[in-house]
Amino acid sequence: TTDNQNTQVTDGFHLVIDALKANDLDTIFGLVGIPITDLCRLAQAEGIRFIGFRHEQHAGNAAAIAGFMTQKPGICMTVSAPGFLNGLTALANATVNCFPMILISGSSEREIVDLQQGDYEEMDQLNAAKPYCKAAYRINHIEDIGIGFARAIRAAVSGRPGGVYLDLPAQLLSQTMPVEEAKKSIFKVIDPVPRQIPAADAVERALNVLKGAKRPLILLGKGAAYAQADEDIRALIEKSGIPYLPMSMAKGLLPDIHPQSASAARAFVLAEADAVMLIGARLNWLLAHGKGKTWGKDPKKFIQIDIQANEVDSNVQIDAPLIGDIGSCVGELLKGIAAVPKPSAEWIKAIDDKKVKNIAKMAETLAKEASPMNFHGALRVIREVIRLNPDVNLVNEGANTLDYCRAIVNMYKPRKRFDSGTWGIMGIGMGYAIGASVTSGLPTIAVEGDSAFGFSGMELETICRYNLPITTVVFNNNGVYRGTDVNPTGGADVAPTVFVKNARYDKMIEAFGGVGYYVTTPAELEAALTKALAEGKPALINAVIDETAGTESGRLTNLNPSTANK
Ligand code: ADP
């Protein structure tokens, strides 16, 4: 606010900050540069937490995971053109995963951009963003900052959550208006995540499907974790007695050791269930589109709880769609669940038999002392450390590292596991770890394949700069999938999947003042991880894994197109 010939005026910089603060958006993940540097400085001066990254994609991923954890849009702030495009990758990923976030980017002079006269970092960002997010807006006038933020916030969190792009032209920030008028233009959005109550006949239809089922199954997706209806979801599962399967980011919504968890009999229950209730999970590729061998021979009845009406019938016919927010839908089902007969004893016993067998088999594999260390030996340690520290956030990406960790490491609390998600991507690691750690204030372990880690490794500097309690464990097997491929021509270039052998990722974090560990056995890994957690300082454990361990594309081998002359 400046005193200008007795008329108090404020400017766009201040009003952007005021709009964020009015809506309790207290953290910005970003990267400074023209034209947002002063905006970021001012944000910090005004009490907003600013976490500065080395690359915008990771700032965006941090914002996205903060959105998933809090039901408030995570805020990412970037410069124009390339900074914006880097952030756009994260915005698209957030939208695909149904995480609420707002990407705010500064942009160049509209008049010059629109006539393509060659401005500094010229780009039509608004239109570039549109296909990759839920909504995109530009604020051209200072009077509209309050309304512009309200639209962005509502679009991000109401209905199916997703990513929103908000374009702030450089000239907007220096526009001025009288303080009194400006104050009135900024407001807190009322009821940004409105409850959406399901229709009574839809609830009854869903209950009738359950009543008619012999072998029911509940599938919990990350929408169920996002909804924060933990107690009601648990009550529905326990009162109904129905076995359930968590999708990877729904792990821990109920503790993975819950007697009704069918995770250890996953293939069996998907094939054999006769009625499946999806709660915040889509029948996409992660669930084999609801058809084919995975889903067995006999036809199934599906109930689908979702906030997005046109998700229903996306892949197969849904017998009982239940449209509304998960809290309200589960609440309504609970009222009628006592009248639903318990699943047959035969069904429960068949699942339990399968579980006992599979759990014993896994225990045997985990107990084997392989030398050099393999994925199972290393994950036996991670599993035990998480059991002893159930509040720790777990970030996980890679191919084999992801598949094995998801299956082996039990989660005990909701919204603690953050992974490759709907796209099955690499590159979320350090961004999610920073976002999760900053948002929760709790220690975070990132279990990373060496390839996956490479996409965001420079953010180790960010972790050290903010002294975050993040321990990154790199499963180092010298390459993508594994490190043993050779160049068939005998030429000097290594094979496309191979990295520098015996790379010392632990030395990277030492460059920034963090603690590096180099381990080659499960016992050493356990000692290092326990020490790192106790110290609560930035750490990286380079865990050497047998370079012959690991299969091509992990469990996604079938997605590789095959050549005719292999
Ligand atoms: P997963 O990958 O774990 O199977 P998905 O991301 O495919 O989960 O599915 C999440 C679903 O949850 C989306 O279809 C989304 O519309 C839905 N969803 C998200 N939040 C809510 C909510 N609060 N109430 C109802 N449905 C929700």
For the segment 491-549, what is each residue's pLDDT rounded down to a tens digit?
Answer: 999 999 999 999 999 999 999 999 999 999 999 999 999 999 999 999 999 999 999 98
Residue positions counted in the chain: 566
| Cα dihedral 327, 333, 336, 341 sign | negative
Residue 320 pLDDT > 60, yes or no? yes
The average pLDDT across 123-144 equals: 98
What is the arrangement of strands in the sheet containing 244-246, beginning at the earlier edge strand?
244-246, 216-220, 275-279, 301-306, 320-323
Task: Write the pLDDT tens digit of every residue in 356-383.
Answer: 999 999 999 999 989 999 999 999 999 9
Q: What is the C-alpha separation between 158 and 156, in angstroms, rounded?
A: 6
Reported in sequence order, the residue ranges of 352-497 that DSSP labels E, i.e. its strands, are 393-397, 417-419, 444-449, 470-476
Does ligand 1 have an atom closer than 6 angstroms to the CB of 222? yes
Collect all residues with Cβ–Cβ distance below 8 Å to 30 and sequence separation of at least 6: 36, 40, 50, 51, 52, 53, 56, 59, 75, 76, 77, 78
State the pLDDT at residue 557.
78
Percentages (nearest 5) of helix, strand, coil residues in the chain: 45, 20, 35
CB distance 417 to ligand 1 below 6 Å: no
Which residue(s) pair with 106 in the sheet?
A: 168
Report the DSSP pairing between strands 176-178 and 7-11: antiparallel
Please state the rounded mean pLDDT for residues 19-41. 97
Please give the full DSSP string across 164-175, using - where no structure is assigned. Answer: EEEEEEHHHHH-
Judge whether 539 and 515 are in contact, CB under 8 Å: yes
**Element (H or E) spanning 178, and its range?**
strand 176-178
ipTM over 0.90: yes
Any ligand 1 atom below 6 A from CB of 443: no
C-alpha 330 to ligand 1 mean position (Å): 14
CA–centroid distance, 496 to ligand 1, in Å, is 36
Mutation probe of ligand 1 site: the residue of 93, 101, 289, 308 with most atoms within 8 A of C-beta: 308
Confidence of residue 3 (pLDDT cuts 50, 70, 90): low
The DSSP output letter for 191 is S
Q: Which of 356, 406, 400, 349 is nearest to 382 (CA)?
A: 406
> Can you tell me the distance from the alpha carbon of 7 to that of 2, in angstroms, rounded to the nearest whole number?
9
On the question of pLDDT at 178 being above 80, the answer is yes
d(CA 169, CA 191): 29
For residue 158 and ligand 1, the question of a CB distance below 6 A is answered with no
Query: Using a 6 Å cutoff on CB, does residue 90 contact ligand 1?
Result: no
Q: Which two tokens stand for residue 175?
A: 């526009």
The counts of H helices and E strands in the chain are 22, 20
Ligand 1 and 281: CB distance under 6 A: yes
Q: Does the C-beta of 223 come closer than 6 Å to ligand 1?
A: yes
The CB of 196 under 6 Å from ligand 1? The reply is no
Closest CA to 547 of 447, 480, 494: 480
- Whole-prediction pTM: 0.97
Distance in Å, CA 278 to ligand 1 centroid: 9
Task: Report the nearest atom of ligand 1 relative to the CA of 308.
Answer: 16
Q: Are 374 and 550 in contact (CB under 8 A)?
A: no
Residue nearest to atom 7 of ligand 1 (CA): 282
pLDDT at site 562: 80
Tokens of 367: 């107990």
Cβ–Cβ contacts within 10 Å for residue 33, how many? 16
Please give the average per-residue pLDDT across 179-204, as a whole number: 98
Examine the pLDDT at 2 and tell me if it is beyond 70. no
Average pLDDT, integer, range 201-224? 98
Counting from 1 in the atom list of ligand 1, the atom nearest the Cα of 222 is 3
Pocket lining: 307 vs ligand 1, CB cutoff 6 Å: yes
Closest CA to 547 of 500, 507, 489: 500
Return the bridge partners of 470, or none: 444
Minimum CA distance residue for ligand 1 atom 11: 280
CA of 97 to the centre of ligand 1 (A): 8
Q: 428-452, pLDDT tens digit by residue? A: 999 999 999 999 999 999 999 999 9
> If pLDDT is split at 50, 70 and 90, which confidence band does 282 have?
very high
Radius of gyration of the chain (CA): 25
Whether residue 363 contacts residue 384, with contact meaning beta carbons closer than 8 Å, is answered with: no
Q: For a substitution probing ligand 1, which of 195, 197, 232, 326 has the most ligand atoms within 8 Å of its CB?
A: 326
Q: Say yes or no: CB of residue 322 within 6 Å of ligand 1.
A: no
